[in-house]
Amino acid sequence: MKKLCVFLTCLSMIVVTPVHAKSVKLASKYAYVYDVTDEEVLYDQKGTSKIYPASMTKMMTVYTALSLIPHLNKKVTVTKSMIKNKTKYSATLGFIRPGMKLSYKDLLYGALYPSGADACWILARSLCGSEFGFVKKMNKQAKALGMTSTHFRNATGLPDKKHVTSCEDLSKLMMAGLKNKMWSKVFLAGPYASYHVSGLKWMSTLERMRVEHHVLARKELKGAKSGWTSSAQYCLASCAKIRGHTILIITAKGNKNAYHVPAIKKEATALMDHSQIVDALKKNWKSVVE
């Protein structure tokens, strides 16, 4: 595996500039780290290359839905036609059932927390009449945000060779999302967050990693969205707070065999990469400041 020298930051008075830090080995082929506070790229490993985003797509699904939702507390009665695809694809579900009455707020959490494809389909079909119509809105949003390497073909991230983005483009989406009060609230829920509705318990990405895969997120990581398909492999987009700076970390195509850990932890390969990046930033930043 290539040794990746992560470009981190050197604090000089109030100006932050990149410096070389101790080399770290990442499992991910693609990685991009951006300091939102100082508007600075800290690390770029094929950040503009096209990738399959898998369920990181759902960050845009929620962002687009928020531009269309008339009222967050408005209820949607789930019909069979809204979730007709759930047995056709091997999609991650929130286990939403026909007849349930969920608010749009519930559905936003359902899309990001359990990564529910069913929640995404309900959002798309209730707001635009079809997933196809909703995806057109997603692509319009991507264009407006300057996501030049991005083209969406569905609202879930299910495999499609023409459904692509880049790590850099996802950072642009995340920056826009963080400016939206509701998007930010759902995404930046912290490492132990869960959401309860209609007898269902949905865990956030970081909480699922802890409970299901026994990997604890660094406390600096305030929110994340994972993704996986056989072609995308292990992906993760996260937001960290380090020394008062908002840091976005996006990685893709993580190799689960890169870390010599028990099988149950391999599903959290991307999170282990993000933890390495956070640790490197903390260590280098501290050594420079002191």
Give the whole-angstrom CA distance, residue 236 versus residue 63: 17
The pLDDT assigned to 285 comes to: 73
Give the whole-angstrom CA distance, residue 272 versus residue 268: 6
CA 14 to chain centroid, in Å, comes to 30
Residues 252, 253, 254, 258, Cα dihedral to 10°: -140
> Which run of H or of E encompasses 263?
helix 263-266
How buried is 51 (Cβ within 10 angstroms: 0-12 exposed, 13-18 middle, 19+ buried)?
buried
The region of weakest confidence among 31-40, 79-88, 104-113, 115-124 is: 79-88
Task: Give the count of alpha carbons within 13 A of 287, CB side only.
Answer: 12
Q: What is the DSSP letter of 217?
A: P
The pLDDT assigned to 32 comes to: 97
| Residue 221 scores a pLDDT above 60 | yes
Report the SS3 class of residue 144: helix
Average pLDDT over residues 101-107: 97
Rounded to the nearest integer, the mean pLDDT of the chain is 89
The region of weakest confidence among 21-30, 67-76, 117-126, 253-262 is: 21-30
pLDDT tens readout for residues 37-96: 999 999 999 999 999 999 999 999 999 999 999 999 999 999 999 998 766 677 899 999
- Alpha-carbon Rg for the chain in angstroms: 18
What single letter denotes the amino acid at residue 199?
G
| Residue 1 scores a pLDDT above 80 | no
7-289: CATH topology is Beta-lactamase (3.40.710)
Torsion sign (Cα): 245, 217, 186, 256: positive
Which of 66, 271, 18 is closest to 176 using CA atoms? 66
Give the whole-angstrom CA distance, residue 26 versus residue 258: 8
Give the whole-angstrom CA distance, residue 77 versus residue 246: 38
pLDDT tens readout for residues 202-213: 999 999 999 999
Which of 48, 16, 11 is closest to 31 using CA atoms? 48
Q: Spell out the domain ranges in the chain.
A: 7-289
